[in-house]
Amino acid sequence: MPGCARCGGRLDIVGTQVGRRDTCPHCGAELRNCRNCRHFDEAAAKQCKEPFAEVPSDKDIINFCDLFQMGEGGRPDADRREALLNAAEALFKKR
């Protein structure tokens, strides 16, 4: 289930498309922005995995990218950090 990249609140959205005016019911943030897109990746060039996307400079505001698809959201930095820490611990765990 997708989550808001701003507050982490879970969203009741079916599929990957959201309207240009859809907002998070928890914090009121606009949902159609780069940080909520499944193509968003801070490690990628322009922070987007889609090479043909016209990437806006502000990733937190609404955009009109035709390639936008709702991603998992839910504060990806915190989730990713937790997953990386767990993987590192598993590497050094004695059996």
Domain that holds residue 59: 1-95
End-to-end CA distance of the chain: 34
Number of domains forming the structure of the chain: 1
Contacts of residue 84, Cβ cutoff 8 Å, sequence gap at least 6: none
Predicted confidence at residue 26, as pLDDT, reads 93
pTM above 0.75, yes or no: no
pLDDT tens, 16-74?
678 888 999 999 999 999 999 999 998 888 999 999 998 898 999 998 899 999 887 65
Please answer whether residues 34 and 59 qualify as being in contact, where contact means their C-beta atoms are separated by less than 8 angstroms: yes
Rounded-to-integer distance, Cα 13 and Cα 51, Å: 26
